[in-house]
Amino acid sequence: MRKQKIYLETTLFNFYFDEDRGFAHDGTVALFKEIFGRKI
């Protein structure tokens, strides 16, 4: 089975660094934690 690739839109990176986005920032940080923790 081949390893899947995930392509992220650049908007997600903006949400990661912009802490004023509230729930969008929190959700994006959680997504990146899951990706880097290999839960996805």
Interaxial angle between packed helices 23-36 and 10-17, expressed in degrees from 0 to 180 and rounded to the nearest 10: 110
Give per-residue pLDDT as tens, 1-40. 788 777 767 777 788 888 887 888 888 888 888 888 876 5
Residues whose CB is less than 8 angstroms from the CB of residue 28 and which lie 6 or more positions away in sequence, other chains included? 12, 15, 16, 21
Task: Count, in order, helices (H) and strands (E) of the chain.
Answer: 2, 0
Structure tokens at 2: 């081949």
Query: What is the value of pTM for the model shown?
Result: 0.58
